[in-house]
């Protein structure tokens, strides 16, 4: 398959998707890449943690572990611009998965048994729980942890859950949590114009319409579950900008600020659950100052959004072509 499909679609089969940026004892945890648009006109999330050696050690340890089972990039003496060299003599490429999977699980047990905080002190009012999700490695921490988290709050009619993804194709188990929930949900997707593939040439130019198909299908399920009054659907759009933010915010009541947020690289979709390798975090805080900042973050993001529904998807420009619907059906799990 790799010899048939063009190289620019390699990422479709799965990729290392984690994003974190370390500087001495400071770290930025994000879902953002480092290309120019993220610094200019692409909405994402960035959480900065300062003077936290334990968090830095955790991130560096994850990086070192994965690096031991990765190719080394080097110059090529052939027509290609680069060469890849497998550098782990103890574990051939064909059999590395069981070994790295076991190493990562053992490493995670250390930090998940004693959640990270933001100060390195036991009295911190902020806790971080790291989650790795990697379908290829059979590591499903994000899935199991988020299912437990959502189940623990789903019976409260007062709880408000904000959820967003720039590539909204909510993973089916998370959808089922929405449909079974008594909470109020505010869900935010990217409009087609805010999708990073909008205007692309070739097959990739159909991707925004593919997400419209998934968005509409999700809303139809909301209706069948009788949850229209509890689930609000909006799309983010800002002139000249694209949208890449993702995460969850949980607030105990409509007039309170979030006490819990989920952030990191996961898009909360089937692709993140089964194909990519993701690093995300749950942050829980009792700090009123931090909760205020998290509330400000949601208000800033949601201010560029509009309510959508059946009338939106019925507009001629929002009706995908038959060809797009066929392609979307074929690659549904890759979106």
The pTM of this model reads 0.92
Phi and psi at 82, nearest 5°, equal -150, 165
Confidence (pLDDT) at 4: 58
Confidence (pLDDT) at 5: 58
Confidence (pLDDT) at 85: 87
The pLDDT tens digits for 132-162 are 999 999 999 999 999 999 999 999 999 999 9
Report the C-alpha gap between 43 and 41 in whole angstroms: 7
Residue 75 CA: distances (Å) to CA of 10, 80, 82, 84, 133: 20, 9, 5, 9, 32
pLDDT at residue 123 greater than cutoff 60: no
Residue 90 CA: distances (Å) to CA of 20, 63, 64, 68, 273: 28, 19, 16, 10, 29
The answer to whether residues 130 and 20 touch, using CB atoms and an 8 Å cutoff, is no
Closest to 108 in 3D by CA, of 280, 284, 272: 280
Report the C-alpha gap between 261 and 76 in whole angstroms: 44
Report the C-alpha gap between 72 and 136 in whole angstroms: 20
Q: What length does the chain have?
A: 335
- Classify the phi-psi angles of 268: left when phi > 0, otherwise alpha if psi is within -120 to 50, otherwise beta: left
The pLDDT tens digits for 28-45 are 999 999 899 999 999 999
Report the C-alpha gap between 132 and 143 in whole angstroms: 9
- Provide mean pLDDT across the span 107-119: 76
- Provide mean pLDDT across the span 165-192: 96
Confidence (pLDDT) at 78: 73
pLDDT at residue 119 greater than cutoff 90: no
- Better pLDDT: 227 or 95: 227
Look over the chain and give the mean of its residue pLDDT values, rounded to a whole number: 90
How, if at all, do strands 242-243 and 42-43 pair?
parallel
Element (H, E) at 132: strand 126-134
The answer to whether residues 262 and 285 touch, using CB atoms and an 8 Å cutoff, is no
pLDDT at residue 111 greater than cutoff 90: no
The answer to whether residues 262 and 31 touch, using CB atoms and an 8 Å cutoff, is no
Please provide the DSSP assignment of 18-47 as one string.
Answer: --EEEETTEEEEES---STHHHHTEE--EE
Confidence (pLDDT) at 96: 86
pLDDT at residue 220 greater than cutoff 70: yes
Lookup: tokens for 282: 């749950």
pLDDT at residue 197 greater than cutoff 90: no
Report the C-alpha gap between 100 and 108 in whole angstroms: 12
The pLDDT tens digits for 243-275 are 999 999 999 999 999 999 999 999 999 999 999
Confidence (pLDDT) at 9: 64
- Better pLDDT: 8 or 273: 273
Dihedral over Cα of 136, 138, 141, 145: its sign: positive
Confidence (pLDDT) at 202: 79
């Amino acid at each position: 398959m790799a010899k048939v499909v063009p190289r620019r679609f390699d990422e479709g089969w799965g990729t290392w998707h984690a994003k974190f940026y370390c500087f001495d004892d400071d770290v930025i945890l994000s879902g953002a890449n480092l290309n120019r648009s993220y610094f200019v006109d692409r909405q994402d999330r960035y959480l900065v943690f300062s003077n936290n050696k334990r968090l830095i050690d955790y991130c560096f340890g994850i990086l070192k572990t994965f690096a031991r089972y990765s190719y080394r990039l080097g110059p090529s003496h052939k027509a290609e611009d680069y060469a890849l060299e497998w550098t782990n003599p103890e574990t051939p490429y064909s059999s590395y998965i069981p070994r790295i999977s076991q190493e990562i699980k053992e490493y995670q047990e250390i930090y998940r048994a004693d959640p990270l905080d933001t100060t390195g002190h036991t009295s911190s009012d902020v806790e971080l729980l790291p989650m790795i999700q990697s379908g290829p490695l059979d590591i499903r921490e994000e899935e199991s942890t988020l299912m437990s988290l959502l189940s623990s709050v789903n019976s409260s009619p007062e709880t408000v859950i904000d959820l967003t993804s720039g590539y909204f194709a909510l993973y089916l188990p998370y959808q089922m949590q929405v449909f079974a929930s008594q909470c109020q949900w505010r869900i935010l997707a990217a409009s087609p114009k805010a999708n990073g593939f909008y205007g692309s040439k070739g097959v990739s130019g159909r991707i925004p319409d593919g997400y419209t198909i998934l968005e509409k299908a999700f809303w139809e399920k909301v209706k069948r579950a009788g949850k229209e009054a509890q689930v609000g659907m909006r799309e983010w759009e800002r002139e000249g900008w694209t949208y890449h933010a993702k995460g969850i915010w949980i607030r105990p009541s409509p007039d309170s600020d979030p006490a819990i947020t989920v952030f990191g690289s996961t898009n909360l979709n089937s692709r993140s659950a089964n194909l990519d390798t993701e690093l995300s975090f749950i942050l829980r805080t009792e700090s009123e100052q931090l909760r205020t900042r998290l509330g400000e973050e949601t208000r800033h993001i949601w201010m560029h959004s509009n309510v959508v529904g059946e009338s939106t998807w019925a507009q001629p420009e929002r009706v995908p072509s038959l060809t797009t619907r066929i392609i979307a059906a074929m690659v549904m799990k890759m979106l």
